[in-house]
Structure formats: C-alpha cells, structure tokens
Amino acid sequence: MSLGADMPQTVYRPEMTHAGLPPTQAVTAVDEYQNIRDQHIADERPLTIYLDRYEVVTLMTLGTQPELLTLGYLKNQGLIKNIEDIKSIQVDWDVNASVVTTISENNEWLDKMKNRTVTTGCGQGTTFGDIMEQLENIRLQPIKLKQSDIYKLLKNLNEFNDVYKSAGAVHGCALCHGTGIVTFMEDVGRHNAVDAIAGYMWLEGIQGNDKLFYTTGRLTSEMVIKVAQMGVPALLSRSGITQMGLKLAKDAGVIMFSRAKGQHFLVYNGAEHIEFDTELPPKLQVAHIKS
C-alpha cells in the first residue's frame, strides 16, 4: 500500500510483471463451543529468486508484492548496485519463481554468495559476507523528532495492518515521513516486509534521509543493517531490541525506539535528537517522582 504524493520518479524502470496475489484465504474453524466459524488465514507460499539463471534464495511470503520484494532483497544484500543493471523481473507462481535478468549478465555478484549467514527471525533471512564491512562506512545524519509527532504517527499507523487484523500471523513495516505514512507493507516475515519497502524506494527514487522506519518486529542486527543501508536515520519498533541491534544502531547513527505503542516508547539510542514536548499526566507525574 502506497500513500506518498509527489514522489520523484526514476528515469529507468525494469520490465516487471504485476503478479501480486491476495494475502489471505477463507477457511473454517471450530471454536471452544463447537461452533463453526468463517475465518481468514495468511496465504504463505515460497518464492525462489533466480538471478541470471542462478538460484539465490527461497523466501516464504504472502506474495502481494513479489517484484518489490525481489528488488529490495537484491538491493539490501548488495547483489546489484544500480537498478539500471536490471533488465526485467518476471514472477511466475506456477513454479513459485521470480526470475531476474540483468543487462550484462556478467555475474560479478557470484563471489558475494560464497559467504552467507542465515539469520534469526520470522521467515528465513540471509546476509552476505561483505554487508558488515559496508556498514562500517555508513554514518547517518540525525533528524530532529518531536515526542508529540511520534504519538501522532503511532496513532496513524493503527489504520493499517489490514492483513494482521483479518488473519494475524504477519508483520508490518512502514516508511514514514513526519506523522504520515509513505508506504506500508505486510508479510509473513519482517525481513520480507522491509525488503519490499526497500524495493519500492529503489524503484521510485525515494531518499531515506528525512524518513522514519516502523516495524512490528524486533530490532535485530539485520533490521538495523537494512534500515541503515536504506539511509533511514530513525527506527521504531512495537517490539524489543537485541544487543547486536543496539550496537549497530550506535555505530551507524540510527535513532532507535522500541516498545512504541500508543503513548509509550523507549529510546535506546539518539534521545538527544528528540524534543520531549508532552507533559506527563498528573497521576504518572506522581508515579515518576516516587520511582
């Protein structure tokens, strides 16, 4: 789902199918009183990405934005640097494949596939050997944020999560600007949702330097790496963080929020860039003083 207006357009766009599928399917279930209930469940399926006839990875996905997922995966893994090098992306669900054809087919990316690390998370994530080295050269410029704007943004995000509300079993991610949502993606794994947003940004030529990234998933090292590569200086999560995620956020200059929901959040990195402009309610002020 994309809501951004006046988005800059790149001159070049690869040929792409539009093979998105519905995210859920209707089923029946029996409740604790033996009543038959009509329900919707997430429609998980495999998608294998092929790059110039080489098999790269198989991702489990809802399949709603397979072309953007493919683009973002290639971008975030550093396998292709320029979108102009991609001739086409053809998704065929009969064989559960996303076939990427490059312009030159020089296969320079093959060396990067020799050293792969499988990461933790919902769905299987994979990082390639030189990603950490690339991160050492990233130092993001911080942006100023207001506490009140974070509250407004979290309220606006409540209007999304359509698949989660109907079926559960998915994560949601959003690219945000101020208190508004540029694009929101859901998938069975948070890795896929963030990659789909990276693909959207790459395709539309959107810069991340003045944006915030929101996820319902926990902030592991891979999530921080991907957001830093996208050039987004602030990361909000409804969930928690890991020690390595925090270390990398400090190294790259990513403002890190966790447990962000309603009118509550914890800032683990970058609190000095936040204007705390909302007073505590009287009851909470008393509790805060006592603590």
Whole-angstrom distance, CA of residue 180 vs CA of residue 246: 26
Tell me the torsion sign for CA atoms 6, 204, 256, 262: positive
Whole-angstrom distance, CA of residue 69 vs CA of residue 19: 12
Lowest mean pLDDT among 30-34, 103-107, 232-236, 256-260: 103-107
Question: Residue 158 falls within a domain, yes or no?
Answer: yes
CB atoms within 10 A of CB 166: 14
DSSP strand pairing (145-146 vs 274-275): parallel
Question: Do 125 and 32 have their domain in common?
Answer: yes
Question: Residue 152 falls within a domain, yes or no?
Answer: yes
pLDDT tens profile 125-172: 555 556 666 677 889 999 999 999 999 999 999 898 888 778 777 889
Residue type at 196 in one-letter notation: A
Alpha carbon 291 to its chain's center:
36
Whole-angstrom distance, CA of residue 277 vs CA of residue 275: 6
Give the start-end residues of each E strand in the chain: 15-16, 24-30, 36-42, 45-51, 54-61, 86-92, 97-102, 116-119, 125-128, 145-146, 171-177, 180-187, 212-215, 234-237, 255-261, 264-269, 274-275
Question: Residue 2 falls within a domain, yes or no?
Answer: no
Q: Which residue has the tokens 């991160």?
A: 135
Residue that terminates a domain, selected from 102, 133, 164 = 133
Question: Do 218 and 262 have their domain in common?
Answer: yes
pLDDT exceeds 70 at position 176: yes
181: domain range? 145-275
Whole-angstrom distance, CA of residue 225 vs CA of residue 21: 29
Whole-angstrom distance, CA of residue 259 vs CA of residue 247: 18
Partners of residue 266 on adjacent β-strands? 258
Whole-angstrom distance, CA of residue 19 vs CA of residue 10: 22
Residue that terminates a domain, selected from 133, 165, 197 = 133
Question: Residue 265 falls within a domain, yes or no?
Answer: yes
Question: Do 93 and 194 have their domain in common?
Answer: no
Question: Do 199 and 265 have their domain in common?
Answer: yes
- pLDDT class for 116, splitting at 50, 70, 90? low
Question: Do 185 and 255 have their domain in common?
Answer: yes
Output the pTM of the full model: 0.85
Q: Are 155 and 148 in contact (CB under 8 A)?
A: no
- pLDDT class for 285, splitting at 50, 70, 90? very low
The whole-number pLDDT of residue 72 equals: 96
Question: Residue 258 falls within a domain, yes or no?
Answer: yes
3-state secondary structure of 276: coil
pLDDT tens profile 242-282: 999 999 999 999 999 999 999 999 999 999 999 999 876 65
Q: Are 90 and 17 in contact (CB under 8 A)?
A: yes
Question: Residue 287 falls within a domain, yes or no?
Answer: no
Whole-angstrom distance, CA of residue 167 vs CA of residue 70: 24
The number of distinct structural domains making up the chain is 2
Residue that terminates a domain, selected from 90, 105, 133 = 133
Question: Residue 197 falls within a domain, yes or no?
Answer: yes
Question: Do 172 and 258 have their domain in common?
Answer: yes
pLDDT tens profile 27-58: 999 888 899 999 988 999 999 999 998 999 99
Residue type at 211 in one-letter notation: K
Whole-angstrom distance, CA of residue 94 vs CA of residue 77: 26
The whole-number pLDDT of residue 6 equals: 47
CATH of the domain at 185: 3.40.140.10
Question: Do 63 and 156 have their domain in common?
Answer: no
Question: Do 30 and 91 have their domain in common?
Answer: yes
CATH of the domain at 28: 3.10.20.10
Question: Do 121 and 181 have their domain in common?
Answer: no
Question: Do 157 and 267 have their domain in common?
Answer: yes
Question: Residue 38 falls within a domain, yes or no?
Answer: yes
Question: Do 74 and 192 have their domain in common?
Answer: no
Q: Are 252 and 219 in contact (CB under 8 A)?
A: no
Task: Let me know the angle formed at the C-alpha of 231 by 228 and 237, rounded to the nearest 5 degrees.
Answer: 55
Whole-angstrom distance, CA of residue 144 vs CA of residue 209: 12
Whole-angstrom distance, CA of residue 262 vs CA of residue 245: 23
Question: Do 90 and 50 have their domain in common?
Answer: yes
Residue type at 212 in one-letter notation: L
- pLDDT class for 287, splitting at 50, 70, 90? very low
